Structure 1
Amino acid sequence: SFGANMVALDYGRPAQMNLKQMLEAFIAFREIVVARRTKFELNKARDRAHVLVGLAIAVANIDEVIALIRSAPDPATARAQLMERHWPAKDITPIVELIDDPRHKIAEDGTYRLSETQARAILDLRLQRLTALGRDEIGDEVRELGEKIADYLEILRSRDRILTIIRDELGAIRDEFATPRRTEIMEAADDVEDEDLIQREDMVVTVSHQGYIKRVPLSTYRAQRRGGKGRSGMSTKDEDFVARIFVASTHSPVLFFSSTGMVYKMKVWRLPQATPQSKGKAMVNLLPLKSGERITSVMPLPEDEKSWNALDIMFATRSGNVRRNKLSDFVQINRNGKIAMKLDEGDGIVGVQICTENDDVLLTNAGGRCIRFPVTDVRVFSSRNSTGVRGVKLDGEDQTISMTILNHLDVTPAEARAYLKQAALARRAATGEEVEESSELLDEEDDGEITTLSPERYAELGAHEQFVLTVSVKGYGKRSSSFEYRTSGRGGKGIIAMAVSQRNGQLIASFPVEEQDEIMLVTDGGQLIRCPVNDIRVAGRSTQGVTIFRTDKEEQVVSVEHLGDSSEEE
């Protein structure tokens, strides 16, 4: 069923009708249309028959008509004499009666007087119409018009005939323009869920620091060049700011990890949809959060839950701890949530990502250092109550700000140095720009060995190379090759990820990107910018980077989101 506005103008007056009244009004309108059309056709047929009757009179009295015309000094005189004379009707009487036109009257003495229209038609008559064939054509046309006139009169006298015409015309319209039903209506084996009616669409999910959440269609945001001022991404209060954004399909499940170590699950389409300027809806009204509990991390998951058995999930906390579980441990999450990870007081989850045993974990700290180690260095935990194991050793009040999953490949430091040097030369030749080479390719454990890569090995390393984008709170960032980040054992202090200075500020995000991708940056003032990754240069791991977002003096970047291939969004 569907709603319809049943207010209509009935003979110029507005009225609210039900379906029966609407149909009755339509039928009454069609009756008026058919009656008016029939009257028009009747008058048109009578006008033509009127002329033909005059021609028939002339043909029946052809000798007298020709003599009168020949003796007349001019056409006007001939026309007047034709109209003044009483012409014998002869065998025209049945035709006049058949036409049934009030203008066609035969006098009691069997004579007929011509009208001006008839007289003019006689004067315009061509001689070929005087032949026997011409006279028969006139008679046939008159009889045909007579039958039509009789039919028109019958239609006007009978409402049943009018309704029959309406029915036949509607049937003809249906046969000509109707299209067969394309949707097959069948009984479903199960009840239709609300989710089955939701269209798949990419959404930008925005979460504020005070726990407001909303979703906005990704198509709402247009791409800009780096260094732009952006557009308003969320209207916030003075004490609130945008803390997290991500892009996911409307059918994607999302896990919400809380400050107490609980996890909740909800589909994206269930989140409130709003405009880019609105603040959204408080998550406390969407999730059963307890007093003092807040959401600290949000993770979108693959739509197909059956594939979760073959995947692992890696947790990372601000204190530098990591833990690995099977993703299937989080398939069944009821409305009230379930325990995800045991957390120490003051700690929180900074990253939750899907991984396999063929991956590496890259932890990045706000102080500018990072560490990379294989996923297999972290055993699979069967319990969800554990705090995990140490992933990186932190100094002082430093904390982990991001966790990235990278592809694992066995590469020696010498091979990494040789590849990075050769790749930098290749980029310089391709773009003509000055490409800054890394100044920290050697670490304390490297022996400085020089090697030459074969074309096959160079191509293999190029196929596995990833670029890690690192962004600071002041809007500066750079891309670095994944081979800049050597693999070591977990639990160490790691190596420099990006130079932290008064200009840059501390780090806020670090994740792998592709050349054709786009990123979205959000500040604590609610400003948002979307820019292509290829605007950000490739630089060494320990460099300061370039300006991505020109933030105001008191403004800082609080979240950076990876949008994927920008060409698919145009």
Structure 2
Amino acid sequence: YLLFFTQKGKCFWMRVYEIPEGTKASKGRAIQNIINIEPDDKVAAYICTQDLKDQDYIKSHNLIMVTKQGQVKKTSLEKYSKPRVNGVAAITIKEGDELLGAKLTNGESQVLIAGKSGKMVRFEEAKTRPMGRTASGVRGITLKDEADEVIGIVTVNKDDINETQILVVTENGYGKRTKLVDDDGEDVYRITNRGGKGVKTLNITEKTGSLIAINNVTDDDDLMIINKSGLTIRMMVSDLRVMGRATQGVRLINIKGTDSIAAVTKVLREDEEVVELDEDGNPIEVLEAETSEEETPENNDSDVEPDNNEELE
């Protein structure tokens, strides 16, 4: 099943095979033609689950939801195991707020919530008690001011903590990756109670702009950045060196004029075979190829702020 969560806090179901299959360049179908979503509502998150009739599975997994104003809620997947055509209420959204994201957890995960101001809070999933579908949740992060808002949520399984890295991107195209736990086993992002102000995950300046995206990545992932103008770039996460928590990062993409970043996501790395063609368009057979590593210049130190391990309240 696919579970769709809308900005107004409703949940809809769909079997994966019910989604029309298309080509890479096809436009696709409007979501309103597939599920009974209201015209003025939008899908904020989706989750792919196993068979919802598997009692052991649905009772051992939870859904963690977060709103733009920092409310967080945990509900057992069992509460969403009976699909309805018109959907059900997943969370009660307060006035002026909207659902931002939803994640599937196994009961022993850690939750990381980041704000536009560059702060991020990390807490154990167990700090949030299970609630009903119509509950509005509890405070997950205390935002800096009225202009601040949550930009993303990441959940990390207990067994993956040592290998997980946090990658953040700003609206002006700067980004960086930081380990969740350093090589000495020390937490780079300290674990706190939910509702705290968090610690710096990136040093926000006028040059970087506000934080807009957060992802948990590994060296085997690729990063894809899409601009509102349609420009798309794809890069290997391993090409970005690991930096300190309170650093400014490096430029990932050049933003021109009034353009801005529309979406940032991690994708699975694929080894694509490059085939050279002759003048007639026929593939050229390569009998032997030699590859040489070119020395890659180090990142400009002027783009990186020193890591002063500053932790604010």
Change in Cα spacing, 1:296 to 1:501, as seen in structure 2 (3 Å) is farther
Match of 1:561 in 2: 265
Match of 2:232 in 1: 528
**Cα drift, residue 275 of structure 1:** 4.7
**Cα drift, residue 536 of structure 1:** 1.3
Q: Quote the Cα distance in structure 2 between the aligned partners of 1:364 and 1:300.
A: 20
**Cα drift, residue 506 of structure 1:** 1.1
Q: Quote the Cα distance in structure 1 between the aligned partners of 2:4 and 2:272.
A: 27
Question: Whose helix proportion is higher, 1 or 2?
Answer: 1
Change in Cα spacing, 1:392 to 1:485, as seen in structure 2 (3 Å) is same
Contact 1:254–1:298 (CA under 8 A) maintained in structure 2: no
**Cα drift, residue 484 of structure 1:** 1.4
Change in Cα spacing, 1:289 to 1:487, as seen in structure 2 (3 Å) is same
Match of 2:133 in 1: 384
Which protein is bigger by CA-based radius of gyration?
1
Contact 2:167–2:175 (CA under 8 A) maintained in structure 1: yes
Matches within 5 A, 1:160-559: 253-292=1-40, 294-305=41-52, 306=54, 307-381=57-131, 383-394=132-143, 395-408=145-158, 464-482=162-180, 483-559=187-263
Change in Cα spacing, 1:563 to 1:356, as seen in structure 2 (3 Å) is same
Change in Cα spacing, 1:463 to 1:353, as seen in structure 2 (3 Å) is closer
Secondary structure in structure 1 of the residue aligned to 2:259: coil
Q: Quote the Cα distance in structure 1 between the aligned partners of 2:74 and 2:124.
A: 12
Change in Cα spacing, 1:357 to 1:569, as seen in structure 2 (3 Å) is farther
Q: Quote the Cα distance in structure 2 between the aligned partners of 1:513 and 1:358.
A: 19
**Cα drift, residue 278 of structure 1:** 4.7
Matched AA of 1:506 = S
Change in Cα spacing, 1:567 to 1:281, as seen in structure 2 (3 Å) is closer
**Cα drift, residue 258 of structure 1:** 1.9
**Cα drift, residue 563 of structure 1:** 1.4
**Cα drift, residue 291 of structure 1:** 4.5
Contact 2:2–2:49 (CA under 8 A) maintained in structure 1: no
Structure 2 portions without partners, runs of 5+ = 181-186, 274-313
Question: Whose strand proportion is higher, 1 or 2?
Answer: 2
Q: Quote the Cα distance in structure 2 between the aligned partners of 1:507 and 1:275.
A: 33
Aligned length in residues: 263
Q: Quote the Cα distance in structure 1 between the aligned partners of 2:255 and 2:2.
A: 30
Deviations 1:289-310 (A, max 9, x none): 2343x12412231334322321
TM-score with structure 1 setting the length:
0.44
TM-score with structure 2 setting the length:
0.77
Q: Quote the sequence identity (%).
A: 30
Contact 1:309–1:326 (CA under 8 A) maintained in structure 2: yes
Higher relative contact order (CA 8 A, sep 6+): 2
**Cα drift, residue 408 of structure 1:** 4.7
Deviations 1:386-426 (A, max 9, x none): 110001111222000111112459xxxxxxxxxxxxxxxxx
RMSD in angstroms over aligned alpha carbons?
Answer: 2.2
Q: Quote the Cα distance in structure 2 between the aligned partners of 1:257 and 1:568.
A: 33
Secondary structure in structure 1 of the residue aligned to 2:59: helix
**Cα drift, residue 541 of structure 1:** 1.1
**Cα drift, residue 280 of structure 1:** 2.9
Matched AA of 1:530 = R
Change in Cα spacing, 1:379 to 1:291, as seen in structure 2 (3 Å) is same
Contact 1:473–1:558 (CA under 8 A) maintained in structure 2: no
